[in-house]
Amino acid sequence: LSLSPPSPQMDDEDCERRRGECLDEMSDLEKQFLELKDKLFRERLNQVKVKLDEVLTGKAGEYREPLATLQHNMTLRTQVAGVYRELCLQVIQHRYECELQGARQHLESERTLLFDAMKTELLDKIRRLEEDRQSVDLTSEWWSDEVKGKKCKRRNLSRPERKKKAALVSGPFIVYMLRDIDILEDWAAIKKVHI
């Protein structure tokens, strides 16, 4: 058997034909790829729209579980906040009652102190008035005695006065020659200054 070498003309035609077949096949594959790509994009878009609808309606599983956890946490926090609020209100109520009781006790204490001070002041004034009255009574008694004594002296002017006998005193003494009325007036003045 002898093989005849292929002609160069056949090889070019065959290559050209094969090249055209490959190009047609490649363009078909590109069309199929583009169609599949569009189909895949539409399917993905539809899936996203479905998921979005499920999320908006609250039917998505990935959405419902975290939402249930959040709602449970919210319920717990609401209960804790309610208990905390009640405790704060109780503390405020207790503080108010303590302040009110303290104010009442302070008022009562101030009232008692004021009453005692006024009572002491009034008793002191009564005592001073009583002392003044007694000193005025004593002064008026002495004054009336002095006036009576002067009247008696006037009556006895015709009689010669008797000289009193001087008392014998031993040691150095100072003798004041004051009248009784002067002593009483000085004593009353000293008492008023000390009161």
Instruction: Look up the domain containing 113 and give its range.
Output: 66-132
> For the chain, what is the domain count?
2
Task: Clarify whether residues 72 and 110 are in a common domain.
Answer: yes
Query: Over its length of 195 residues, how does the chain's per-residue pLDDT go in tens digits?
Result: 444 455 555 578 888 888 889 999 999 999 999 999 999 999 999 998 988 888 788 777 777 788 889 999 999 999 999 999 999 999 999 999 999 999 999 999 999 999 999 999 999 988 888 888 777 766 556 556 655 555 555 555 555 555 555 555 555 555 566 777 777 788 788 877 876
Residue 152 counted as domain residue: no
DSSP notation for 64-116: HHHHHHHHHHHHHHHHHHHHHHHHHHHHHHHHHHHHHHHHHHHHHHHHHHHHH
CA distance 195 to 129: 10
